[in-house]
């Protein structure tokens, strides 16, 4: 559930400590003692529209947790996610070339936190020394810090690495959360992916309300050898940019439903999944003739992933932010974007560009071996149903086929 305000002061001293085990992986509402809080960085103010982006992550907090409870992770882990989205048992190492993550501000403990996460879950070490990890300053110098964006970057690099453990991870740090600086970050990320003839993905787990001049930025996402992913937002039934761009794979959100033994049962649309027809962007050919989309406008999301904080994922961030530090449980479509980028990286088809990737997805979305049709759940005024819908798009990924 979206809460359009910053952390309640009453919870500022609490770190996440939901009950370990299966409870946090059940449907929303069954983990009744937990509270979903919104970091300051995820709140959009009226003055931000058209100028500044916000993150799209939410954090599940237990109000009775002891401060700084860092001892062990809760929430979904790579081992519980792999059987659902990849159809394989964990670990299953795959991935190649580069996934670039674009975020704002400096995250000083990025490499340390990525390797705590990797060690905890038996992932390959990803360091600067072994050539797996790299931090790039988009404007050539280290930005100032921002702990909410640090949380975002922790989620992004850890779950891109989790889904494609043998791909290179580049964290591109924009000077600020202004669109001008973030798009400079996208440009730097593109250069990192395509250097020496490389290919890969760029993930953007941020965005803002659509604005009339947004299409002027679409050229940043039209580069050979790169597929761009963007979070669809955490307000059900609302569209945000850049995921509204027809040159970006819009990543929506779902909830994972499990039985009492933790076995996956089904997936439903998450109430916070951003979506709808774009106000300013027209439709491209990959959505022509798709039942359910707008007749003329770009329709989002395209494809979805677990984003409900009540079925959220484990993330490690050692930089304290308003009392939250260590192992946290994250939701929001900020989970979807890097995770889907990782899945597409695993597919190793390395499409020519985002439009080619989206054309492949829409061509194959009725293949149940490749995609899961999410047919229930509501977000804003929209309801999920058979086929494409404004809650989950074509549904969620199954394996690496059709991508």
Taking the CA of residue 136 as centre, how many other CA atoms within 13 Å lie in the half-sphere pointing to its CB? Answer: 21
pTM of the predicted protein model: 0.92
CA distance 148 to 168: 24
Q: Specify the pairing of strand 303-306 against strand 200-204.
A: unpaired
Domains of the chain: which residue ranges? 9-397
Tokens standing for 245? 């761009």
pLDDT in tens, the chain (403 residues): 333 333 332 333 233 333 222 223 333 334 557 899 899 999 999 999 999 999 999 999 876 554 445 568 989 999 999 999 999 989 899 999 999 999 999 999 999 999 999 999 999 999 999 999 999 999 999 999 999 999 999 999 999 999 999 999 999 999 999 999 999 999 999 999 999 899 999 999 999 999 999 999 999 999 999 999 999 999 999 999 999 999 999 999 999 999 999 899 999 999 999 999 999 999 999 999 999 999 999 999 999 999 999 999 999 999 999 889 999 999 999 999 999 999 999 999 899 999 999 999 999 999 999 999 999 999 999 999 999 999 999 999 999 999 9
Are 329 and 75 in contact, with CB atoms under 8 Å apart? yes
Are 282 and 297 in contact, with CB atoms under 8 Å apart? yes
Report domain 9-397's class: alpha beta
Instruction: Render pLDDT for 372-383 as a digit per residue (tens, 0 to 9).
Output: 999 999 999 999
């Amino acid at each position: 559930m979206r809460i359009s305000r910053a952390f309640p002061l009453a919870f500022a001293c609490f770190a996440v400590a939901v009950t370990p085990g299966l409870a946090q992986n059940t449907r929303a509402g069954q983990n009744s003692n937990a509270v979903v809080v919104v970091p300051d960085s995820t709140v959009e103010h009226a003055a931000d529209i058209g100028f500044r982006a916000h993150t799209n992550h939410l954090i599940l907090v237990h109000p009775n947790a002891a401060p700084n409870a860092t001892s062990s992770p809760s929430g979904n882990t790579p081992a519980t996610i792999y059987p659902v989205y990849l159809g394989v048992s964990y670990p299953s190492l795959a991935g190649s070339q580069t996934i670039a993550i674009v975020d704002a501000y400096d995250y000083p403990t990025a490499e340390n936190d990525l390797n705590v996460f990797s060690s905890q879950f038996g992932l390959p070490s990803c360091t600067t020394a072994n050539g797996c990890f790299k931090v790039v300053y988009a404007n050539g110098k280290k930005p100032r810090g921002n702990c909410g964006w640090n949380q975002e970057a922790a989620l992004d690099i850890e779950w891109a690495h989790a889904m494609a453990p043998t791909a290179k991870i580049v964290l591109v740090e924009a000077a600020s959360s202004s669109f001008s600086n973030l798009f400079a970050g996208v440009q730097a990320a593109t250069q990192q992916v395509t250097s020496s003839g490389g290919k890969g993905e760029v993930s953007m787990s941020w965005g803002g309300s659509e604005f009339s001049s947004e299409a002027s930025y679409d050229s940043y996402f039209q580069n050979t050898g790169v597929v761009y992913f963007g979070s669809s937002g955490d307000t059900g039934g609302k569209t945000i940019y850049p995921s509204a761009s027809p040159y970006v794979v819009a990543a929506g959100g779902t909830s994972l439903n499990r039985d009492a033994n933790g076995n996956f049962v089904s997936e439903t649309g998450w109430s916070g999944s951003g979506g709808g027809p774009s106000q300013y962007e027209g439709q491209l050919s990959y959505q022509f003739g798709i039942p359910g989309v707008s007749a003329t406008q770009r329709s989002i999301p395209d494809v979805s992933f677990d984003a409900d904080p009540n079925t959220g994922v484990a993330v490690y961030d050692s930089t304290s932010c308003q009392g939250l530090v260590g192992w946290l449980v994250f939701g929001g479509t900020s989970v979807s974007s890097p995770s889907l980028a990782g899945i597409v990286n695993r597919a190793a088809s390395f499409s020519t560009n985002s439009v080619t990737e989206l054309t492949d997805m829409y061509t194959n979305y009725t293949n149940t071996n490749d995609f899961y049709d999410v047919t229930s759940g509501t977000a804003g005024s929209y309801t999920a149903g058979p086929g494409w819908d404004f809650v989950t798009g074509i549904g969620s990924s199954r394996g690496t086929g059709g991508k």
